[in-house]
């Protein structure tokens, strides 16, 4: 198995509705809110953890590819090496370490997404009594007692933007890296599924509708790393639709990187 390079996908996540990714109430108790959002412990700014983004995309791709584990509700994991190699969920999003299958490193890294400068300014101007956020009272029903359980949900306001970065690695597993190039499309599929679903909590109440925009894709080959180069731009200012068009150029560059 040989490393061929990384595809770096960057851009902006726009919240088309309020976003609630739960934080730790004990640490982030602000104004006695019942359900606080997760914040950076240093800056106190809300952010989107890479693990939330990746976990949600993995889950949606499990459904899309018919790999949901209905028996125990645990995340899908292929049980054999042969299976896992051809499985976009395991190959791209990773497999639990306990399974110990030789499909190579998890192809996808998703970094934490932090607010853009513009969004930080907008948050600073908010007058909601909370720091950088807003809140809404949501009425939950206790499933056991059927009693109303109103909760103050803290959320990142609609229109907020976060800068995201994902790194997709390409390995030659005796195929010149062709399989990983082909499986790159599942990243876009998962992003598209996320746009039509939701991120974070209370999705059924309309929270967490997000959109990927200003997408920029760069391929940085093994040689680029050796020479300290930035790599080749495959596209910029794209939407998810445009992201599909970079695959042919990516295939060329990966083939060239093996020579
Ligand atoms: Zn699998």
- List, for residues 194-246, the tens digit of each pLDDT value: 999 999 988 888 999 999 999 999 999 999 999 999 999 999 999 998 888 89
pLDDT of 57 > 90? The answer is yes
Give the Å distance between the CA of 104 and the centre of ligand 1.
Answer: 13
Task: List the end-to-end C-alpha distance of the chain, in Å, as a whole number.
Answer: 15
- CA 10 to centroid of ligand 1, rounded, Å: 26
pLDDT for position 136: 87
Question: What pLDDT shows up at residue 34?
Answer: 81
Ligand 1 center–CA 58 separation, angstroms: 11
Higher pLDDT, 66 or 259: 66
Ligand 1 centroid – CA 105 distance (Å): 14
Please name which of 134, 235, 145 lies closest in space to residue 184, comparing C-alpha atoms: 235
Query: How remote is the CA of residue 243 from the centroid of ligand 1, in Å?
Result: 24
What is the whole-number distance in angstroms between the Cα of residue 83 and the centre of ligand 1? Answer: 7
Of the CA atoms within 13 Å of residue 208, those in its CB half-sphere come to: 21
Q: Residues within 5 Å of ion ligand 1 by Cβ? A: 78, 87, 89-90
**CA geometry: angle at 248 spanning 245 and 253, to 5°?**
125
Q: Kindly state the average pLDDT of the residues 101-113.
A: 87
Q: CB-side exposure of 239: number of CA atoms within 13 Å? A: 5
Between residues 244 and 29, the one the model is more confident about: 244
**Percent of the chain having pLDDT more than 90?**
65
> What count of Cα atoms within 13 Å lies in the side-chain half-sphere of residue 214?
11
Q: How high does pLDDT run on average in the chain?
A: 90
- Listed residue (99, 71, 73, 98) closest to 87, CA to CA: 99
- Distance of CA 90 from the midpoint of ligand 1 (Å): 4
pLDDT of residue 238: 94
Cα distance between residue 164 and residue 110, in whole Å:
8
pLDDT value of residue 190: 97
Tokens of 208: 């967490």
pLDDT of residue 147: 83
Q: What is the pLDDT of residue 156?
A: 96
- 89 Cα: distance to centroid of ligand 1 (angstroms): 5
* pLDDT at residue 148 tops 70: yes
Tell me the mean pLDDT in the region 11-39: 82
Task: Give the model confidence (pLDDT) of 113-136 as tens digits.
Answer: 999 999 999 999 998 888 899 988
């Amino acid at each position: 198995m040989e490393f061929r390079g990384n595809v770096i996908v960057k851009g902006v996540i726009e919240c088309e509705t309020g976003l609630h990714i739960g934080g730790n109430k004990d640490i982030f108790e602000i104004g006695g809110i019942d359900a606080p959002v997760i914040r950076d412990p240093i800056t106190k700014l809300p952010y989107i953890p890479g693990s939330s983004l990746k976990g949600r995309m993995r889950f949606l791709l499990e459904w899309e590819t018919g790999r949901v584990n209905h028996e125990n509700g645990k995340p899908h994991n292929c049980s054999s090496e042969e299976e896992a190699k051809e499985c976009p969920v395991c190959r791209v999003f990773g497999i639990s370490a306990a399974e110990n299958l030789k499909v190579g490193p998890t192809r996808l890294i998703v970094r934490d997404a932090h607010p853009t400068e513009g969004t930080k300014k907008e948050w600073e101007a908010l007058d909601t009594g909370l720091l950088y956020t807003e809140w809404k009272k949501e009425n939950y029903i206790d499933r056991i007692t059927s009693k109303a359980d109103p909760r103050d949900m803290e959320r990142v306001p609609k229109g907020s933007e976060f800068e995201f970065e994902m790194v997709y690695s390409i390995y030659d597993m005796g195929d010149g890296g062709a399989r990983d190039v082909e499986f790159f499309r599942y990243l876009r599929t998962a992003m598209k599924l996320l746009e039509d679903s939701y991120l974070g909590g209370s999705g059924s109440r309309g929270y967490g509708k997000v959109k990927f925009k200003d997408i920029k894709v760069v391929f940085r080959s093994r040689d680029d790393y050796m020479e300290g180069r930035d790599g080749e731009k495959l596209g910029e200012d794209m939407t998810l639709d445009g992201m599909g068009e970079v695959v042919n150029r990516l295939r060329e560059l990966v083939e060239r990187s093996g020579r």
